Amino acid sequence: MKRRRIKRVMLLNPPNIVWKGKDRKRVDLPIGLAYLSSVLQMEKFDVMGIDTLLDGFDEEHEAQDGRVRFGLSDEQIKQRIQEFRPDVVGISSMFSKSFTLAVHMCRLAKEVDPDIVTVMGGNHASTLPEQSLRRSEGMLDYVVIGEGEFTTGLLFRAISKGYDLNKIHGIAFLDDNGNAVINPPLEPIYNVDILPWPDRDMFNILEYSRIAKPHGDDLMNTPYTTFLSSRGCPFKCNFCAAHNVHGRNYRPRDPDDVLDELEFLVEQYGVREIHWEDDNLTYDRDRAMAIFNGMIERKLNLSWCTPNGIAFYTLDREMIERMRESGCYAVWAAVETGDMESLKRIGKPTTMQAFRDFIPMFKEQGITVKGTFLYGFPWETRKHMENTFRFAQELDLDYVVFYIATPLPGTELWDLSLDKYPELASPDFDWEKLQFGLSNMEVNGISKEEIQQMRKKYWLKVNWNLDEDQEAPDGK
């Protein structure tokens, strides 16, 4: 690409697709973009952030096959772009299901001004950079691979000064001959304490509390906000794509820095609740205890929950007690399966006994425990799935959600599934269907339709002892 001055940067969280009767609208502050905003401003770029989901939460647009798009309309987004006149529009594509709309955002930017540089980051683009560029049909100029806080600024300066882009680690693009250039990744940010705190002002932190539709459903007090105290998970669950951006190195923030940010949120915005988004909040026991003890000692009076789950194999009774004392009122247990073979094959470093042991301890402390389960892995038979549904009934959980095993790019499950389902690799594959609430594959003679039906059947049965032709309680 020709040399171009980069000064004004728009960061855009795209609209989303929900499937009628299968999922619901949710919106949380895009903390990854908020971190990127802080770093780019530190590097003297003029930044505007737009969360189209937040600003257009009540706007719905019918799509195809029972899909509904929500968020700002195309015309509203183009108007925002026209008003800010950015040199670059950066789009987040955290999930494969959002890739199509993320590319559409690139197209809208090019319609406003063909010279606008378009950049995409997140799990999907990081994992399939060449395919992302080619499927955009010229609308996407660059992919930032992995953590983008430092790579993005390097890219913008290189474009501004006409430097050789082949030397910028962590980016992908198509050269003048249409050949894919995928540079080696930049090293992960090992010392995450060097990062500034996320720019929550850019995305109007208090407005998320007005809408009050966080992705985990739990919300006791407002204002609330999402929070990240560590990056990376060292474990290798075969269905998890989180490592595609943050890697497998566990990189925790210093407890004092975490506590200082929490205190700032309380004082600056009156925040009363925190939703931890760490992949593994309690992996380092001493650090977790230091954070919980510090919340008590500083009298932060915050309620908190773990919508991204918590690793039960890291827990003990003392930690659970300290969690409650520091404000914990709800946790999500990522149980995944009730079948021994499946537990072994997915590679999750836990035992089913851990859930039998620790769920009662949480309940003793008055902490709500909700559970998530996966079924429909390519090797599973009806017996495997029945074991999972039975285990969900056995555990004394306050609420249960069943998800369908979904092969995400960059996971072992993806590689395993390609042999059986080569259509996943088709250039025409509909990425919007690749989400945990939808059945995309027949599994060992069990049809896609039956696998989908199981989800509702056991959700009703386990949570409320209802038949599948009955309705769930209001609001569920």
404 Cβ neighbours under 8 A, 6+ residues apart: 374, 375, 376, 436, 437, 438, 439, 440, 451, 452, 455
Q: Checking DSSP bridges between strand 230-231 and strand 251-252, what pairing results, if any?
A: antiparallel
Q: Checking DSSP bridges between strand 142-144 and strand 224-227, what pairing results, if any?
A: unpaired
For 332, the 3-state DSSP assignment is: strand
Name the nearest CA neighbour of 265 among 222, 214, 234: 222
Please tell me the distance from the alpha carbon of residue 272 to that of residue 262, in angstroms, as a whole number. Answer: 10
Q: Tell me the domains of the chain and their CATH numbers.
A: 8-182 (3.40.50.280), 214-464 (3.80.30.20)
Q: What are the Cα distances from residue 339, in Å, to 343, 391, 393?
A: 6, 8, 13
Burial classification of residue 475, based on how many CB atoms lie within 10 Å of its CB (0-12 exposed, 13-18 middle, 19 or more buried): exposed
Please tell me the distance from the alpha carbon of residue 304 to that of residue 410, in angstroms, as a whole number. Answer: 31
For 334, the 3-state DSSP assignment is: strand
For 436, the 3-state DSSP assignment is: coil
CB atoms within 10 A of CB 2: 7
The reported pLDDT for the residue numbered 61 is 83
360 within 8 A of 314, measured Cβ to Cβ: no
User: What DSSP state is assigned to residue 184?
Assistant: P
The reported pLDDT for the residue numbered 476 is 67
Phi, psi of 403 (to 5 degrees): -120, 155
User: What DSSP state is assigned to residue 188?
Assistant: P
410 within 8 A of 241, measured Cβ to Cβ: yes
DSSP 206-235: HHHHHH---TT---SSSSEEEE--EE----
408 within 8 A of 239, measured Cβ to Cβ: yes
How far apart are the two ends of the chain, measured CA to CA in Å? 50
Please tell me the distance from the alpha carbon of residue 167 to that of residue 148, in angstroms, as a whole number. Answer: 16
- Tell me the HSE value of 319 on the side-chain side, using a 13 A CA sphere: 19
Which tokens sit at 41? 């401003």
Max CA pair span of the chain? 65
Q: Where are the beta strands (DSSP E) in 166-302?
A: 171-174, 180-182, 224-227, 230-231, 251-252, 273-276
Helical (H) or strand (E) element with 317: helix 317-325
List per-residue pLDDT tens for the chain, 476 residues long. Answer: 568 899 999 999 999 988 876 678 999 999 999 999 999 999 999 999 999 999 999 999 877 777 899 999 999 999 999 999 999 999 999 889 999 999 999 999 999 999 999 999 999 999 999 999 999 999 999 999 999 999 999 999 999 999 999 999 999 999 999 999 999 989 899 999 999 999 999 999 999 999 999 988 999 999 999 999 999 999 999 999 999 999 899 999 999 999 999 999 999 999 999 999 999 999 999 999 999 999 999 999 999 999 999 989 899 999 999 999 999 999 999 999 999 999 999 999 999 999 999 999 999 999 999 999 999 999 999 999 999 999 999 999 999 999 999 999 999 999 999 888 888 888 788 898 888 888 988 999 999 999 999 999 999 999 999 988 888 886 66
Name the nearest CA neighbour of 354 among 402, 398, 310: 310
Please tell me the distance from the alpha carbon of residue 371 to that of residue 331, in angstroms, as a whole number. Answer: 9
List beta partners, residue 334: 372
User: What DSSP state is assigned to residue 327?
Assistant: T
CB atoms within 10 A of CB 457: 17
Burial classification of residue 222, based on how many CB atoms lie within 10 Å of its CB (0-12 exposed, 13-18 middle, 19 or more buried): middle
Q: Which residue carries 């002892």 as its tokens?
A: 465
Angle at 238 between CA 236 and CA 244, to 5 degrees: 70
List beta partners, residue 226: 275
Q: Which residue carries 């001493």 as its tokens?
A: 286
Burial classification of residue 388, based on how many CB atoms lie within 10 Å of its CB (0-12 exposed, 13-18 middle, 19 or more buried): buried
The reported pLDDT for the residue numbered 433 is 87
